[in-house]
Amino acid sequence: MSTITYREAMRQALRDALTRDERVFLIGEDVGRYGGCYAVSLGLLEEFGPERIRDAPLSESGFVGAGIGAALGGLRPIVEIMTVNFSLLALDQIVNNAATLLYMSGGQFNVPLVIRMTTGAGRQLAAQHSHSLEGWYAHVPGLRILAPATVDDARGMLWPSLEDPDPVLIFEHGGLYSSEGALTGTDGVDITSAAVRRPGNDVTIVSYGGTLRIALSAAEQLRGAGVDAEVIDLRCLRPLDTATILASVAHTHRAVVVDEGWRTGGLSAEVAARITEEAFYDLDAPVARVCSAEVPMPYAKHLEDAALPQPERVVAAVRQMGG
């Protein structure tokens, strides 16, 4: 095992994919000479050249469209969008083209495209660079939505995504890039199922991406109070691994969903609904949700912290369940 940063794990994954398959290339704003907005692709231009590490103009619709066309032409593009907020400029390409072409062609045209983008807040980048919109994309049939929360998943999810014949969107939380962890392996990981990151018996805390660390911190605080929390990392937001969630709730009988997206119409609502629909009689208390405040993300640090899910809010939600 080696200890590396999340950023380094992503870079290793990119280097591995580019080495394995000559059809793979990376395209996006500042991915080449600048090394990526978050330094994930630093050094890859010098290693693989400008044909495979392509700096794109400031046009998300243009270079995402180019990625879709390249995928239809037999290549395996990795498109990097600087932040999820900017992906809205390519929403037509992602939702109306990449996600629908297989169905609209009667199964004739797959789109083996991977789109990576940064999501999440906590870095004082204000409202146009800080929202968590992955729940929007998880609403769309035809897309697979991934949210690696650990070094192992950051390293291992890219290659299986490139092997998928259909579009895969990978959401990397900006607050994780400098985090460190033990890399236990370099083989591809499962991109279809959730993972139990901490076993427990008293309550299920459902998290993903940047909220995993919040959930684990809350679980530690609860342990000190004699509450044994089980923490689930969804990992794949579409399709959801409902079976793992329900199996956990069946033995804990309580659930809290932590989501950095907004509460109204968000991913937390979908998870809570599935638990209620399929495990109602296992519940000893209503499903609770801890989400971001229903405001554009503030710039001021104290306001940003107040708007985001925090471990203390998760602990409070568990305590309100009683039992």
The residues that are catalytic are: 60, 129
- CB atoms < 10 A from the CB of 74, how many? 8
The label of the residue with tokens 């498109």 reads 79
- CB atoms < 10 A from the CB of 139, how many? 16
Return d(Cα 98, Cα 102) in angstroms, integer.
Answer: 8
The label of the residue with tokens 């956990």 reads 248
CA dihedral 198, 207, 138, 29 (to 10 degrees): -100
Q: How many CA atoms are closer than 13 Å to the CA of 287, on its beta-carbon side?
A: 25
Return d(Cα 170, Cα 203) in angstroms, integer.
Answer: 28
In which order are the strands placed within the sheet that holds 255-262? Answer: 195-198, 229-233, 203-207, 255-262, 288-292
| DSSP three-state, residue 268 | helix
Q: What is the enclosing helix (H) or strand (E) of 313?
A: helix 311-319
CA dihedral 32, 33, 35, 38 (to 10 degrees): -100
